[in-house]
Amino acid sequence: MLPVVVVHGGAGHIPKERSELSTSGVTSAVRAGYAVLRGGGSSMDAVVEAVTYLENNPAFNAGCGSVLNVKGDVEMDAFVMEGKTLGSGAVSAVRNIANPIQLARLVMDKTSHLCLTAEGAKQFARSMGVPEVPQESLITEYSRMRWRKNLAPDANPVECQMGKMG
């Protein structure tokens, strides 16, 4: 068996001018995750490290750089699972958290539940000492531009994000 880390930065349409950002982002993240494995860390430690890297990179749609909902707000979802015990944790519709993936891991490690949502997830984050961040710190000019563009009555947000079906 050969230890390995694989990451993705999202499927869909990636404009040419952002392709370099995407490639450098995923290679940095996979290096970070692999360094954890080489240091003796677990596969769970590695995937959380890699995804934290991607959440902190504004080129990707998670954490900083998340797309906006119809009101122009950030609502994020995250999930972790480990294969030895089928342990898992998730959060949905969370706001004002820099790294939802770390909160999902806390749900797995510190509760008997699988998923916490919205205000309940925020309360749990507070109880765990996870710092809140201003929403503005998660919003990029690029995500705001795409939000404005997709407010048009004839816009197709799914096609805009995923591309046309072949």
Using CB under 8 A as the binding rule, the residues of this chain from 79 to 138 that contact other proteins are 79-84, 86, 88, 90-93, 100-101, 104-105, 114-115, 117-118
CA angle, 20 as apex, 80 and 34 as ends, to 5°?
40
15/129 with CB nearer other proteins = 15
Tell me the one-letter amino acid at 62.
A
Q: Answer yes or no whether residue 22 interacts with other proteins by CB under 8 A.
A: yes
Smallest distance from other proteins to CB 111, Å:
14
User: Residue 55 or 124: which CB sits closer to other proteins?
Assistant: 55
145 is a site residue for other proteins (CB under 8 A): no
- Alpha-carbon distance of 79 to 63, in angstroms, equals 13
Tokens of 58: 């504004």
What would the two tokens of residue 94 be? Answer: 């969370």
What number of chain residues touch other proteins (CB under 8 A)? 88
Q: Partners of 117 in the beta sheet?
A: 92
* Residue nearer to other proteins on the CB measure, 122 or 146: 146
* Whether 16 contacts 22, CB under 8 Å: no
Q: Which is nearer to other proteins, 92 or 96 (CB)?
A: 92
Site membership for other proteins, residue 8 (CB under 8 A) = yes
What x-and-dash track marks residues 26-55 binding other proteins by CB under 8 A?
A: xx-xxx-xx--x--xxxxx-xxx-xx--xx
* Cα Rg, the chain, nearest whole Å: 17
SS3 at position 45? helix
